[in-house]
Every structure is written in C-alpha cells, then in structure tokens.
Amino acid sequence: MGLTCESCGRGVLKKKFNLKCGEEYVIALAGNPNVGKSTVFNELTGLRQHTGNWPGKTVVNARGNYDYKNMKFLLMDLPGTYSLLANSVEEQVARDFICFGKPHATVVVVDATCLERNLNLVLQVMELTDNVVVCVNLIDEAERKGIFIDIRELESELGVPVVATVARDGKGLEELKRRIFNVAVGIQTPSSRKMKYSERVEEAIREIEPKIDKLLKGKLDARWVALRLIDGDKTIVDAIHEHVYYEKAIEIDGRR
C-alpha cells in the first residue's frame, strides 16, 4: 500500500499522540458515554489492546489492533462525550484527535434507544471530517422498547455509512469492519451532511470565514474554525497553535 505517516500527512499522529503509525489505518472510535463503545472496541480488537494516558492529560486512552482483509487497523478509543464543544478535557481530547490527528475513518457509536441525543455528536463529528461510519448499537434493546430505526433512510440523511449492531452478541460487527475498510481505504468516499445554521450564524460565518481561510491556507476547515470562534471556544486557538504550528512555535520561543 505504501501508506506512511508522511505520505498521508498524518505526522501529527506520531508526534502528538505517540502513535506508531506505520503501514496501518488509524480509526478513531467516538460516542456518548454508556452506548457500548467499549464493547465495540473489545469485540473488534480482542486482547490486542494497550492503555495509557493522552499526552499531557489525565484522560485514559485505549488503543487496539485488528486485521481485516490483510490490512492492519489501529483503533483509538476516544473518551465518551456528548459533544465536541470542548466543555471538558474529555471533549477536548476527542475533538483534537479527530481534528488534528486526521484518522483514516472515525466510527461514531450511537445508542439506538436514544438516537436523537446521540445524533448531536454525529453531526459535530461530520463537521470535522467526511470519513465517518455510524454504528447504531443496542438495536435489540431499542426494538424491545418499540423503537425502530430505518437504517437506509438514516444513511441517506447523514450521507455516511450506517451499520446496525448488537455489539454484546457480536452482531453486525463484520459489516462494521467492512464499511470501515471501505471508508479508510477510499473505496467509498462519504459526503456527509453539512450542518446548515440559522441565518444569524451563517451571516457571522460568511463574515469571518474568508479571513480564516487566508490565515490557515487550507490546513484546517475554515468554516469549522469560524464556528468555533463564534462559539467563543477558548481552546481552539491554543489547539491550532499546538498542533498546526507546533515545531515553528518552539523556534519562535527560542528566538525571543
């Protein structure tokens, strides 16, 4: 495949997240707390897991490996969060990994019994990357409660692959691996639904997006950064500083 850190622009993974990024695909696993994210993680990776801390944070991180179609996959278990708005260290860690780590695909595990609340996170992840696979877990529990989800319809609404699973029983995980493979390798290029905001927000975005684009020169999605600034997110400038200008920033400090 000839896929290396340098060739895919994922040097930051190695530098910032201590990842051994060789000939393997990096997959991020996101989701709300208590949706069976860890079960999905365990079922996919089995015993091939390591745990540690996120660099500089007291948040536990778990990573594991699995093989599919002779390809190696590295699965990063992100902290369980309800949003990516960086309200807590966990949310910040999850956001930074998806945003700056640029994994080949991001799997968002959602709870079928309360889809609506879980979709908030899916929508926010899709603002950051197109390479999203949604895993609708606990589908059996939802059906017992009389909740039925039209998976095909959800797929067309979101514009990304959606897989229904019962991770506890291992149901749907083969399909999940297949869809992750397709997205990560590039067989399928999802075009995720982009959030349209109300006019006041869109107006504000139009005002500052060009300025940001000029500054960042395509290193990050300008619309997303604009939204964060409008949002009043204090951490985003630091995060860009840290992750995008990291090396240069050190030189600057040295010179002063």
Partner 1 sequence: MNNDNVKELEDLVELSEAVQSMHEDGLRDNIVKDIYETAEYITKKVVTKKSQRKADIHKKVDDILTSRILGYPIMILLLGIVFWLTITGANYPSQMLASFFFWFETKLTSLFMYMGSPEWLHGILVLGIYRTLAWVISVMLPPMAIFFPLFTLLEDLGYLPRVAFNLDKLFKAAGAHGKQSLTMSMGFGCNAAGVIACRIIESPRERLIATITNNFVPCNGRFPTLIALSTIFVGGLVTSRYSTLAATSFVTLLVIFGIIITLVVSWILSKTILKGVPSSFTLELPPYRKPRIGRILYTSLIDRTIFVLGRAIVVAAPAGLVIWILANVMIGDMSILNHLAALLDPLARTIGLDGFILMAFVIGLPANEIVVPIMIMSYMSKGTMLELESLAQMKELFIANGWTFVTALNVMLFSLLHFPCGTTLWTIRKETGSFKWTLLSALLPTAIALAVCFIVAQGARLLGLV
Q: Which of 74, 93, 227, 239 binds partner 1 (CB under 8 A)?
A: 227
Residues 6+ apart with CB under 8 A from 204: 226, 230
Q: What is the nearest approach in angstroms of partner 1 to the Cβ of residue 153?
A: 5
Q: What's the Rg (C-alpha) of the chain? A: 18
3-state secondary structure of 17: helix
Query: Among 178, 150, 206, which Cα is nearest to 73's?
Result: 178
Q: Which of 69, 116, 189, 218 binds partner 1 (CB under 8 A)?
A: 116
Beta bridge partners of residue 29, listed in sequence order: 77, 107
Give the footprint of partner 1 on residues 66-85 (CB under 8 A).
85
Question: Does 201 engage in binding with partner 1 (CB under 8 A)?
Answer: yes
Measured from the CB atom, is 69 or 255 closer to partner 1? 255
Q: What is the DSSP string of 198-226?
A: -HHHHHHHHHHHHHHHHHHTTSS-HHHHH
Candidates 5-13, 39-47, 91-99, 149-157; binding stretch for partner 1 (CB under 8 A): 149-157
Q: What is the nearest approach in angstroms of partner 1 to the Cβ of residue 102?
A: 20
Measured from the CB atom, is 141 or 221 closer to partner 1? 141
| Beta strand 132-137 pairing with 60-68 | unpaired
Q: Which CA distances in Å does 35 have to 11, 40, 81, 116, 145?
A: 31, 9, 11, 13, 16
Instruction: Enter the tokens of residue 23.
Output: 């000939």
Question: Does 159 engage in binding with partner 1 (CB under 8 A)?
Answer: no
Site string for partner 1, 96-115 (x = CB under 8 A): -------------------x
Q: Kindly state the greatest CA–CA separation across the chain.
A: 65
**How far is C-alpha 222 from the chain's CA centre?**
18
Question: Does 141 engage in binding with partner 1 (CB under 8 A)?
Answer: yes
Residue with tokens 């990096």: 26
Question: Does 12 engage in binding with partner 1 (CB under 8 A)?
Answer: no
The count of residues interacting with partner 1 (CB under 8 A) is 51
Question: Does 200 engage in binding with partner 1 (CB under 8 A)?
Answer: yes
Site string for partner 1, 36-65 (x = CB under 8 A): ------------------------------
Q: Are 142 and 10 in contact (CB under 8 A)?
A: no
C-alpha neighbours within 13 Å on the C-beta side of residue 202: 6
Question: Does 191 engage in binding with partner 1 (CB under 8 A)?
Answer: no
Question: Where do contacts with partner 1 occur on this chain (CB under 8 A)?
Answer: 33-34, 85, 115-117, 119-120, 122-124, 141, 144-151, 153-154, 157-158, 195-198, 200-201, 204, 208, 211-212, 215-216, 227, 229-232, 236-237, 240-241, 245, 248-249, 251-252, 255
